[in-house]
């Protein structure tokens, strides 16, 4: 029987390398820990290889990866709710980035973190985010506003920016 | 430094390790589809045997067809014969989903006995969003300060067709969900469609944090969906039921997996044949409600 593997062709390798950082950062923005981020990262590319979607444009291709990343992180988040976790010993040193932003981002729910990341890091407009996440533009704007309220101590920009 | 610059700085250093990338490529090389061939060959062999049996024993054909043979192969959600429906009409100010900053526990039918007051089957005949404007006391920013709130809830009017569990359920009921829109649009509850709904009593007023200062917070109805964070059980045009994975009793035995597009969020859905749904539901009610009331 022929070996029916997901052949990592040059094309797939290029795709992985092209979107590795984008997918990883968005997954990390939502999960806030490296272990879950690694899981989401692998799942996204497995879905890509399983489905082999055909894209109309580079924008379409990027939007697919962003949306599937958000969904994989959501699925992981819900599956985590089924398990009971014991908090780690605080003395264990984490390799997560620790800066002024960290405690504020921890306060946001995964949904809000996704919107904030797509807006501030990926530079998408609220209309683009609404199409990507299949939420109304008003919902996205509301979520950004609420997220910014939570982050207000470290945000200096004009609230009317979007 | 602006927030945007700060944010970029925070994330610029976050990258997948080379090891993770290599591991991912390695995982994609694992032969994952081998089992599918076994299933495919088995399916072909079974089909041939069934056809041979039908041809060789024509007298038995009627007996075979008279039994409800339910296809158990996966089916795409687009191919499920759903009743036509229309979503709640809305203006642009109303959010597609209500916000929740709380953690949500995953659904399991074990949760039912605690707060579920009824399980009914009914058709949605009307639905709308209700707006609430109210103020609560808050001293965070100033003494005797007040916070303004504007919230929406989704209200559904339902013609009850069957009551699996519950007492004194009228022929038309109203339910109101303060939490709505938590799954993709393809699973939103729609006017004209029939659902099997587990209901709870959410009280006379909507829930809010703090002490009410002014405004109307009285709900249209104390009844609400027991678990509004997943697709509800939906009766299809053919009479079968679309059921989520957490309903273990309903999705046990003969049912059909429903596949959804990779970019639609919801992972476990099943089509339960109408011939089995009632008995499974009765078993579920008996397990969780009759037993606990004894």
Task: Say if B285 is an interface residue toward chain A (CB within 8 Å).
Answer: no
Q: State both tokens at B118.
A: 């009824």
Per-residue confidence (pLDDT) for residue B284, from 0 to 100: 92
What is residue B162's three-state secondary structure?
Answer: strand
**Residue B86 has what DSSP assignment?**
B
pLDDT value of residue B242 = 94
pLDDT of residue B204: 86
Which pLDDT belongs to residue B64?
40
Enumerate the residues of chain B whose CB falls inside 8 A of the CB of residue A136: 92, 95-96
Quick one: closest CA in B to A122, which residue?
B8
pTM as predicted = 0.54
**Owner of token pair 């009765």:** B282
| Burial B149-177, CB ≥16 within 10 A → b, else e | bebbbbbbbbebeebbbbeebeeebebbb
Instruction: List the single residue in A24, A102, A157 with the smallest CB-CB distance to B2.
Output: A157
Angstrom distance (rounded) from CA A14 to CA A20: 10
Cβ contact B193:B83 at 8 Å: yes
Contact B212, B134 (CB under 8 A): yes
pLDDT in tens, B123-147: 999 998 888 888 888 777 777 788 8
Which residues in chain B (105-164) have CB-CB distances under 8 A to chain A? 105-106, 108
Q: Over the stretch A90-134, which tens digit does the pLDDT of each residue have?
A: 444 455 666 677 878 888 888 888 999 999 899 999 989 988 887
Residue of B286, B133, B278, B24 lying closest to A46 (CA atoms): B24
Average pLDDT over residues A4-17: 67
Percent over 90 (pLDDT), chain B: 28
Whether the predicted pLDDT of B161 surpasses 50: yes
Contact B184 A157 (CB under 8 A): no
**Cβ-contact B246, B106 below 8 angstroms:** yes
Between CA B281 and CA B284 the distance in angstroms is: 5
Euclidean distance between CA atoms A24 and B204, whole angstroms: 45
Instruction: Name the residue among A38, A143, A157 with its Cβ closest to that of B99.
Output: A143
pLDDT tens across B30-49, in order? 544 444 444 445 555 545 55
Q: How many whole angstroms from its chain centre is CA B206?
A: 22
Length of chain A: 162
The more confidently predicted of residues B214 and A26 is A26
Query: In the prediction, which pLDDT does A4 show?
Result: 42
What pLDDT, on a 0 to 100 scale, did the predictor assign at position B237? 94
Closest residue, chain A, to B100 (C-alpha): A109
Q: Which of B16, B36, B103 to mutate to test the interface with A (most CBs of A within 10 A)?
A: B16
Closest residue in B to A132 (Cα–Cα): B263
Instruction: Tell which phi-psi region holds residue B210, choosing left (phi > 0), alpha (psi between -120 and 50) or beta.
Output: left
Given this model, what pLDDT does residue B82 score? 93
Residues B251, B231: Cα–Cα separation, whole Å: 14
Confirm or reject contact between B5 and chain A (CB < 8 A): no
Predicted confidence (pLDDT) at residue A157 exceeds the cutoff of 60: no
Asked if B25's CB is within 8 angstroms of A136's CB, the reply is: no
- Residue B183 pLDDT greater than 80, yes or no: no
**Identity of the residue in B30, B92, B99 whose CB atom sits nearest the CB atom of A136:** B92
What is the overall mean pLDDT for chain B?
79
pLDDT value, residue B91: 63
Q: What is the dihedral of CA A45, A48, A51, A52, to 10 degrees?
A: -130
Which positions 166-195 of B are in contact with A (Cβ < 8 Å)?
184-185
Does the distance separating the beta carbons of B105 and A135 come in below 8 Å?
no
pLDDT tens per residue across span B81-125: 999 998 887 665 666 555 555 566 778 888 888 889 999 999 999
- Residue percentage of chain B with pLDDT more than 70: 76
Q: Are B156 and B127 spatial neighbours (Cβ–Cβ below 8 Å)?
A: yes
What average pLDDT does the segment B180-193 reach? 82
- With contacts defined as CB-CB under 8 Å, which chain B residues touch A51? 262
Mean pLDDT calculated for residue range B6-30: 83
- Is a pLDDT exceeding 90 seen at residue B171? yes
What is residue A146's predicted lDDT score, i.e. its pLDDT?
Answer: 86
Q: Does B89 reach chain A within 8 Å, measured CB to CB?
A: no
Residue range A68-85, pLDDT digits in tens? 998 888 877 766 654 445
b vs e for B218-255, b when ≥16 Cβ sit within 10 Å of the residue's Cβ? ebebbbbbbbbbbbbbbbbeeebbbbbbbbebbbeeeb
**Angle B27-B30-B35 from CA coordinates, rounded to 5°:** 130
How close, in Å, is residue A132 to chain B by CA atoms?
10
Tokens of residue B234, six digits: 């939906």
pLDDT number for residue A160: 45
Q: Quick one: pLDDT band at residue B62, thresholds 50, 70, 90?
A: very low
pLDDT tens-place string over residues A37-61: 999 999 898 888 877 788 888 888 8
């Amino acid at each position: 029987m022929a070996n029916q593997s997901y052949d990592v062709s040059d094309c797939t390798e290029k795709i992985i390398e092209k979107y590795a950082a984008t997918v990883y950062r968005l997954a990390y923005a939502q999960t806030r820990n490296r272990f879950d981020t690694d899981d989401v990262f692998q799942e996204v590319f497995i879905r890509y290889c399983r489905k082999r979607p055909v894209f109309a444009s580079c924008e379409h291709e990027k939007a697919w990866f962003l949306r599937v990343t958000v969904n994989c992180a959501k699925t992981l988040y819900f599956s985590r709710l089924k398990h009971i976790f014991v908090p780690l010993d605080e003395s264990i040193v984490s390799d997560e980035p620790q800066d002024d932003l960290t405690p504020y981002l921890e306060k946001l729910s995964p949904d809000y973190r996704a919107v904030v990341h797509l807006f501030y890091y990926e530079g998408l407009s609220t209309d683009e985010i609404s199409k990507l996440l299949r939420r109304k533009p008003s919902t996205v704007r509301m979520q950004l506003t609420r997220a910014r309220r939570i982050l207000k101590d470290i945000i200096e920009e004009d609230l009317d920016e979007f | 430094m602006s927030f945007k610059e700060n944010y970029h700085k925070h994330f610029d250093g976050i990258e997948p390790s080379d090891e993770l990338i290599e591991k991912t490529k390695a995982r994609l090389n694992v032969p994952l589809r081998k089992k599918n061939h076994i299933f495919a060959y088995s399916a072909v062999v079974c089909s041939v045997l069934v056809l041979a049996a039908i041809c060789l024993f024509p007298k038995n054909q009627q007996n075979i067809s008279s039994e409800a043979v339910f296809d158990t192969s996966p089916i795409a959600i687009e191919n499920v014969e759903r009743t036509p429906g229309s979503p709640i009409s809305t203006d642009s100010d109303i959010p597609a989903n209500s916000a929740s900053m709380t953690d949500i526990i995953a659904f399991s039918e074990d949760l039912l006995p605690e707060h579920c007051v009824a399980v009914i089957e009914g058709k949605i005949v009307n639905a709308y969003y209700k707006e609430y404007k109210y103020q609560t006391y808050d001293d965070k920013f100033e003494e005797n300060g007040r916070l303004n709130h504007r919230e929406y809830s989704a209200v559904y009017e339902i013609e009850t067709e069957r009551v699996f569990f519950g007492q004194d359920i009228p022929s038309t009921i109203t339910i109101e969900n303060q939490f709505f829109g938590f799954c993709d649009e393809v699973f939103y509850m729609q006017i004209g469609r029939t659902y099997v709904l587990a209901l709870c009593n959410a009280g006379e007023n909507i829930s809010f944090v703090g002490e009410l200062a002014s405004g109307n917070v009285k709900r249209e109805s104390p009844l609400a969906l027991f678990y509004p964070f997943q697709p509800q059980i939906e009766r299809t045009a053919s009479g079968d039921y679309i059921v989520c994975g957490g309903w273990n009793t309903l999705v046990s035995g003969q049912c059909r997996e429903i596949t959804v597009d990779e970019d639609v969020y919801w992972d476990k859905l099943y089509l339960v044949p109408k011939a089995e749904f009632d008995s499974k539901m009765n078993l579920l009610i008996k397990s969780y409600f009759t037993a606990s009331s004894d």
